[in-house]
Amino acid sequence: MPINFDISERLKKLAPYLFVEIDKAKRQAKAEGRDIIDLGIGDPDLPTPEFIIEALNKAAADPANHHYALDAGLPKLRQAIAKWYLKRFNVSLDPEKEIYALIGSKEGIAHLPLAVINPKDRVLVPDPCYPPYRTGTIFADGKVIPMPLLSKNNFLPDLKKYARKKAKLMFINYPNNPTSAVATKEFLQGVVNFALEKGIIIASDAAYSEIYFDIEAPTSILEIEGAKEIAVEFHSLSKTFNMTGWRIGWVCGNEKIICALAKLKTNIDSGIFQAIQLAGIAALESDGNHAKEMRQIYEERRDLLINGLRSLGWKIPLTTATFYVWAKIPKGFKDSMEVTQVFLKKADIIVTPGVGFGKSGEGFVRMALTVSKERINEAVMRLKKVF
C-alpha cells in the first residue's frame, strides 16, 4: 500500500517550477506528433566546443580523477578563474579566499540564503526574476520583498523605495534574465553605496556577462569601488561555453560571504567531478574566439526574430544582451498566459509567459534565441496565423 504523507510546508509555498510546466506542455504536444518550435527554456542549442570535450575525455580516462573532488574546486581551476576575471574585468581575486567552485551557479544561488539569512529575514528579489532567487529565500524561511523591474526604469529597481525595508540580502542580475536589460556602472555604484549604507549583502548573478550586442562588455559589480566589502558574484560556464548540462560555475568576491556558503556546501555536496573541472580550465584558458563567434550567431538570430516579428506589426525593442527577447504581449491578448497558450495551440510555438517570472512580468513574454535561423524563420511564418 502506498505511503501516505504530506509534503513540507516550504514546498507548499512554491508555485510549480515554470520551466517544468512548459516542458510538460511541450512533451504532450510532441506526443501528439506536432512539430514544436521551442523558444521557451534558455538552453543553448549550440554544441560545447570540441576542445573542451577533448579535455574532458582525457581527464575522464585518468583514474586520478575518479575520486571525491575538493569542495572548493581544484587550485588550478580557481587560479584559471582568477586569471580570467583579471583579464575580463580587471579585478584581482585571491584564488584561495575569494573564489569557490559551484555545481553550476544555480545551486550556489539557491543555497546562499540558507548560509546568510535567518527565518523571517527580508530578502530583496527582482520581479520578474530567475526563480531560484525567490525559491532559495523561501527554503531558508526568509521573506521575499519584490523589487519591480519596470520598463519605464529600464528594468532597474528603484532602490529608494527599499531604504526602510531592513533587508539582509539583495539579489541583482545583469545582463538580466528575463528582461535582457543591462546595468550601467552608475547604477551598480548606487547598489553598492545603498548596500554599504544599509548593511545588505549583494548577490550579483552575472551568468550572461559574455552575451551582448551593440554595446560595451557588461560590467562586473566587483569592478565597483567598495563592492568586495559587501558583494559576491555568481558566474557559470553554461551560457558562455554551451555547457549547461555539465554543471560548473563559481562564486567570487567577499571572503566572509563565500566562507559561509562554503560551510553550507561542505555539508551538502562533495564538489564537481574533477574531470569536468579540468575541462572548465581548458574553457577559461581559451583564446576567446568561441565567445565572439557565439555572440555573432545570437546577434544574427536576434535580428532575424525581431525584424520578422516587427513585420507582423509586433513592436519589439532591440535586445542588447542575453539570448532572450523580452516583448510586451501583442495587442488583442489579455495576459501572457493567453499568448503562450494561443501560440502553442495555433502555431506550435512555445514561448515563456512573463508572469511566470513574477507579478511584474505580466504583460510580457520571453523568447529564447536558442534555435537555428531556419527555425526562427519558420516561427515567424507560423505566427502569421495568429496576427
CA 129 to CA 143: how far, in whole Å? 16
Looking at residue 22, what is its pLDDT? 73
The one-letter amino acid at 170: M
Bigger pLDDT: 134 vs 164:
134
Question: Phi then psi for 38, rounded to 5 degrees?
Answer: -100, 105
Looking at residue 24, what is its pLDDT? 82
% of the chain exceeding 90 in pLDDT:
90
What's the pLDDT band for 18 if we cut at 50, 70, 90? low
Contact (CB, 8 A) for 139 and 110: yes
C-alpha cell read off for 108? 550556489
Looking at residue 25, what is its pLDDT? 79
Tens digits of residue pLDDT in 41-77: 889 999 999 999 999 999 999 999 999 998 899 999 9
Looking at residue 21, what is its pLDDT? 72
CA 233 to CA 227: how far, in whole Å? 10
Whether pTM exceeds 0.85:
yes
Mean pLDDT (whole number) for 208-214: 97
pLDDT greater than 90 at residue 156: yes
Mean pLDDT of all residues belonging to the chain: 95
Mean pLDDT (whole number) for 135-162: 97
**Sign of the torsion formed by the C-alpha atoms of 362, 137, 107 and 3:** negative
The stretches of the chain forming alpha helices (DSSP H) are: 9-12, 18-31, 50-60, 75-89, 105-116, 132-139, 185-198, 255-266, 274-284, 289-311, 336-347, 373-383
Looking at residue 167, what is its pLDDT? 97
CA 283 to CA 18: how far, in whole Å? 30
pLDDT greater than 70 at residue 19: no
Please name each of the domains of the chain with its CATH number. 9-47+289-383 (3.90.1150.10), 50-284 (3.40.640.10)
> Using omega within 30 degrees of 0 as the cis cutoff, is the peptide bond preceding 2 cis?
no
283: three-class secondary structure by DSSP: helix
3-state SS record for 321-335: ECCEEEEECCCCCCC
- Cβ-Cβ contacts under 8 Å for 66 (sequence gap 6 or more): none
